[in-house]
Structure 1
Amino acid sequence: MERWAGRVAVVTGASSGIGAAIAAELTKKSLSVVGLARRVERVQELSKSLQSESGKLYAVKCDVSNEAEVLAAFKWIKDNLGGVDILINNAAVLYDTSLTSGSTEELKKMLDVNVLGLSVCTKQAFQSMKERGVDDGHIIHINSVAGHVPPGDSVAMYFATKHAVTALTEGLRREIIKLKSKIRVTSLSPGLVKTEMPPKEFLENHPALNAEDIADGVLYVLGTPPHVQVGRTFYTQATASHNPQSSMERWAGRVAVVTGASSGIGAAIAAELTKKGLKVVGLARRVERVQELSKSLESATGKLYAVKCDVSNEPEVLAAFKWVKDNLGGVDILINNAGVLYDTSLTGGSTEELKKMLDVNVLGLSVCTKQAFQSMKERGDDDGHIIHINSIGGHIPPGEIYAMYCATKHAVTTLTEGLRREIVKLKSKIRVTSLSPGLVKTEMPPKEYLENHPALNAEDIADGVLYVLGTPPHVQINTYVPEKPSVFIFKLPPSRRKEEIQERLCAPTHTRRHIPKDTVPKTSSSLFNNFVHICSSVQFLLPPTLRYVTACKSFAMKYGTAPGPPFQIRERLISSNYTTLKTVAGRSSDTLVYI
């Protein structure tokens, strides 16, 4: 957050709940924060309580459903602070109003605040950034899980307004791309949160997140490097208890096992955990590399131990975990990072390479998971964490290459959910997370591919791991697509050429995945253009996955061939009521948040 120090953030609905929590946290991070609210006296009281902080909170009276007040508020910001760098659209109202007999005034108020007010504030903030040449600004809509599921038999208009916010997020993203701006757009969608909005009796009978949990999510999104766009993060209320400690401090001195720790993502994670004071066991075939890394970390507060282990060899895995038990007591955190990738054809490729991918990416992960869970269970460790380093390949259909690799990652996606369900059945609070990066600069992808495509750094993924581990015990972050997705990280392009804009037409809400035109085979460029045209004509209001599938089917029927590599990250399809979320796969869960 250091790069935001001294800059200006506007938070709407800042008088209580999520808005107040966000305004307070941003002030503590040295920002000049403008809290807009009807009950301005509450923001003034909050500002007084934050006088010792390095930032400053300004209270400005504003009802976002009143355009004149919004314009006056943004004029005050321009005159007194120069302009806006961050906008947090948090203001919203909820009325339990029937569509068939309810108050027209209440229906109108929800539309005016939740949709139109958000839109007016967004326009003013964007214009402020544009006229000052601010190209690294950030607009965050505090949406709701109600914006992604069908309504139940009540509060239908509230759900409708939040679905509108979901569509507006995507519309804004596309407009900004068309304008060749790098201003980022994020939608953060909480489930039930302890605020003044939900009925008191509903909060008493359902697990809920704290407003501070949402504020933490905002800080994480804002704190990612400019080249990283967090597509979406799902939080669940894991337990009814609350531990306010939301940093890596509670893990100091505890034991983490990282597989595939000799290079790339594994080495970066092992290094960061060691710096955070953990005892880290790096498992790798090339153990000498982990030993070298350990020597370079001798001044760190933690310690990195190098243990030779090929995760596709079960006796070696068992021996490694026995070493951990005998020497360190057991495992508290498991990072399943080891993976292999071969460009092997399904129709004529090497059986040995196909088998190796299955043995390492799926079976090895499963054996390590079992050993880690047993270690936690036998020691009564009920706050452990198991993290699978998955891949975006585990959530999209494969192209004409790497089919087995994608298949193994789809298996990891399923194993994540299977493990989560088993752990819930055992009444354990051990957490499970799957982290799914896109292209990362490691030894795995072909060198020529990395040279021609934007990619993340291994340290970006390590940062994601630290964020997941650092959330309070009552917050669970799950990566599971299509049922329970979590962290998707993509590299933002250094520029957005005009011809790239259409190539993103079927990209899902909130993702900024870069798909350069030169990745499309030159021999199929005309077909690709036709596919783009079909994508652009598919109904926008269809869920993103259906838009993509519909476009593919239309393309195949017309041209007799597939459109080439997939450009769509599978979006979550949910069929649900307000209290119980059920996905198309029959998945049920409690409260959710996603970015």
Structure 2
Amino acid sequence: MEIDLSGRVVAITGASSGIGEATAIACVQAGAAVALAARRGDRIDALAARINDEGGTAVAVPTDVGDERQARAFVEQAYERLGRLDALVNNAGVMLLGAVEGADTEQWRRMIDANLYGVLYCSHAALPVMRAQGGGHIVNVSSVAGRIASAGSAVYNMTKWGVNGFSEGLRQEALHAGIRVTIVEPGAVSTELIGHNSDAIQTAAASRFAGVTPLTAEDVANAIVYALEQPEHVSINEILVRPSRQER
């Protein structure tokens, strides 16, 4: 029997562009209603309007997930406005690369706030809601950088290794409440993420992946929906998805 997301509610962070936006669209196409979070409120407002105009159901909640009160308010509003919370996709993240020595430590705090605290705060808010309704699913978007460390990305590596460790520990804890946890680890993806770095770092990244056709945001969204669509007795714990020609 074909399984879809009809009647489910999926809350997605970092939904203003890239993987988050693509995941929202893919979930709606599979039948779900979606709650959208991002700092750029105009972007998620426009996406929610487009989804609603096309017959879907979406609500937008401007949110900085690194702020605990805002993260909790997003989860609470998703539940209150859409009536339930079947899945949380912790996608919001920042990738600011560069050497540790001489680094702007404010960039570290930005990554830790979004990549770690954002996942923690949203998950912490969602768990009791999911437990009370008898189950749910948390998907944490990590990275191949959570498996393989490289010079120039040490702090980003730290945040993504943290997401992976947290996800496995949470999986073991939450399964007793019928809550599944999945890590999705993309390789090189064509999104805005690298664009937040200096020109020199962007050039170096382009050179590293020369000859590699990157994943699209839709490729990663498809992996997320695949995990969400599984029947209740099936838990996809981890998905590592790279471009076919990416070596590491």
> Which residue does 1:342 correspond to in 2?
96
Trace 1:376-525 onto structure 2 (pairs within 5 A).
Answer: 376-378=130-132, 380-382=133-135, 384-396=136-148, 398-424=149-175, 427-446=176-195, 448=203, 449-450=205-206, 452=210, 453-479=212-238, 487-493=239-245, 514-515=246-247
> Do the aligned residues in 2 keep the contact of 1:266 with 1:337 (CA within 8 Å)?
yes
The one-letter code matched in structure 2 to 1:491 is P
User: Which letter does structure 1 place at the counterpart of 2:83?
Assistant: G
Task: Kindly report the root-mean-square deviation, in angstroms, between the aligned alpha carbons of the 2 structures.
Answer: 1.7
The one-letter code matched in structure 2 to 1:402 is: S
Question: Identity, % of aligned pairs?
Answer: 35
- Pairwise CA distance, 1:332: 1.1
Is 1:312 matched up with 2:66?
A: yes
Tell me how far apart the structure 2 counterparts of residues 254 and 490 of structure 1 sit (CA, whole Å).
28
Within 5 Å, which residues of 2 pair with 1:174-185? none
Show the counterpart of 1:230: none
Contact 1:392/1:488, CA 8 A, preserved across alignment: yes
Counterpart CA distance in 1 for 2:54 and 2:241 is 28
Report what 2:3 is aligned to. Answer: 247
**Aligned partners of 1:344 and 1:353 also within 8 Å:** no
Q: CA deviation at 1:302?
A: 2.7
Deviation (angstroms), 1:253:
2.4
AA aligned to 1:445 is: I
Distance 2:58 2:139 in 1: 18
1:281 aligns with 2:30: no
Tell me how far 1:478 sits from its aligned partner. 0.7
Residues 485-519 of structure 1: CA deviation (Å, up to 9, x unaligned): xx2212124xxxxxxxxxxxxxxxxxxxx34xxxx
| Separation in 1, partners of 2:166, 2:153 | 20
Look at both structures and tell me which one has the larger radius of gyration over its CA atoms: 1
Native 8 Å contact 2:131 2:178 kept in 1: no
Preserved contact between residue 246 and residue 471 of structure 1 (Cα < 8 Å): no
Question: What residue number does 1:186 align with?
Answer: none
C-alpha spacing 1:328/1:297, structure 2 compared with 1 (3 Å): closer
* 8 Å contact from structure 2 (residues 59, 78) kept in 1: no
For 1:341, give the aligned amino acid. M
Does the 8 A contact of 2:185 with 2:241 survive in 1? yes
Name the SS of the counterpart of 2:231 in structure 1: coil
Separation in structure 1 between the aligned mates of residue 72 and residue 243 of structure 2, nearest angstrom: 37
Q: What residue ranges of structure 1 are gaps of 5+ in the alignment?
A: 1-244, 480-486, 494-513, 516-566, 568-595
Determine which of 356, 364, 381 is the counterpart of 2:110.
356
Aligned length: 238
On the 8 A contact 2:7/2:32 being kept in 1, the answer is yes
Q: Which residue of 2 aligns with 1:264?
A: 18
Q: Secondary structure at the match of 2:236?
A: strand
Shift, 1:345, TM fit: 2.7
SS at match of 1:475: coil
Q: State the alpha-carbon separation in 2 of the partners of residues 456 and 325 from structure 1.
A: 32
User: In the aligned structure 2, how far is the partner of 1:324 from the partner of 1:266?
Assistant: 16
Q: CA deviation at 1:450?
A: 4.5
Checking the alignment, whether the CA contact within 8 Å between 1:274 and 1:302 is kept in structure 2 is yes
Distance 1:298 1:460 in 2: 23
Q: Is the 8 A contact 2:131 2:179 kept in 1?
A: no
| Bigger relative CO (Cα 8 Å, ≥ 6 apart) | 2
Q: Which runs of 4+ in 1 moved over 4 A?
A: none
Give per-residue Cα distances to partners, 1:59-111, cap 9 Å, x unaligned. xxxxxxxxxxxxxxxxxxxxxxxxxxxxxxxxxxxxxxxxxxxxxxxxxxxxx
> Distance between the aligned counterparts of 1:246 and 1:363, measured in 2?
36
How far off is 1:385 after superposition? 0.8
Unpaired segments ≥5 residues, structure 2: 196-201
1:376 aligns to what SS in structure 2? helix
Matches of residues 56-135 of structure 1 in structure 2 within 5 Å?
none
Aligned to 1:491, what secondary structure does the other structure show? coil
**How far apart, CA to CA, are the structure 2 residues paired with 1:422 and 1:284?**
28
What letter corresponds to residue 393 of structure 1 in structure 2? A
Give the structure-2-normalised TM-score. 0.90
Per the TM alignment, residue 463 of structure 1 is displaced from its structure 2 partner at its CA by 0.7
2:243 maps to amino acid: K
